[in-house]
Amino acid sequence: MITGGCQCGAVRYRISGPLFGAHICHCRMCQKAFGNFFAALVGVKKTDITWPRLQPAVFRSSSVSSRGFCPQCGTPLSFAYDHSDHMSVSIGSLDQPDLARPENQFGMEGILPGFATLHTLPGSRTEDDVSPDDMKKLKSFQHPDHE
C-alpha cells in the first residue's frame, strides 16, 4: 500500500495499485496551482485511490479538469481530467516521494529561466542554517510520513 497526504494530516490517501508516469509540468496552471516553478506529479488509477480521512477540496481549474487540495492547510494533492480513468497525485505529498522518479516534462512553453541551473545552485542542509539551540526549540506540526 502506497500512502500520502497533506502537510497537516487532515487529508490522507491510500493507493492500492502501481504508480506510473511520474513527470513534472511547467505549464502556467501548474505553476499557479503549486505556487512553484513546476508541479511534480505521478499517475494512479482513479479506482486505486481512497481517502480515509477528509476528502480533498476541489478547484475546478478548467472545463475538463480538477485539482484537489487540503481544505485546512492548502497542500496541493491531485490533478485529474474528467474523462480519464487515471489521475495524478503530487509527488511531494507521498509518504515516500522517492518512489516516483520523473520520466517526462510537460508544459515546456511555461518553463522558467532559472530552471535549467537549479541543480547547480550552492546548497546547504537545514541544520547548517539553524543553530543547535533553535533546532531544539523547533517543533514541527507537520503530519509524519506514515498513517
Q: Which stretch binds Zn ion (CB under 5 A): 22-30, 90-98, 123-131, 133-141?
A: 22-30
d(CA 67, CA 132): 39
Q: Is residue 21 a contact point for Zn ion (CB under 5 A)?
A: no
Q: Among residues 2, 6, 41, 44, which is the contact residue for Zn ion, using CB under 5 A?
A: 6
Of 47 and 82, CB closest to Zn ion: 82
Neighbouring residues of 12: CB distance < 8 A, sequence distance ≥ 6: 3, 4, 5, 6, 51, 52, 53, 143, 147
Task: Find the shortest distance in angstroms from Cβ 17 to Zn ion.
Answer: 23
Q: Which stretch binds Zn ion (CB under 5 A): 2-10, 60-68, 91-99, 125-133?
A: 2-10
Of the candidates 144, 114, 137, 146, the one whose C-alpha atom is nearest the C-alpha of residue 8 is 144
Q: Is residue 41 a contact point for Zn ion (CB under 5 A)?
A: no
Of 104 and 120, CB closest to Zn ion: 104
| Residues 40 and 102 sit within 8 Å (Cβ to Cβ) | yes
| Residues 87 and 43 sit within 8 Å (Cβ to Cβ) | yes
- DSSP symbol at 55: P
Q: Which stretch binds Zn ion (CB under 5 A): 28-36, 45-53, 90-98, 123-131?
A: 28-36
Of 36 and 47, CB closest to Zn ion: 36
Which residues, numbered 62-121, are part of the site for Zn ion (CB under 5 A)? Answer: 70, 72-73, 107
Q: Which residues pair with 24 in a beta bridge?
A: 40, 105
d(CA 86, CA 79): 10
Q: Is residue 10 a contact point for Zn ion (CB under 5 A)?
A: yes
> Which amino acid is present at 89?
V
User: Residue numbers of the site for Zn ion (CB under 5 A)?
Assistant: 6, 8, 10, 25, 27, 30, 70, 72-73, 107
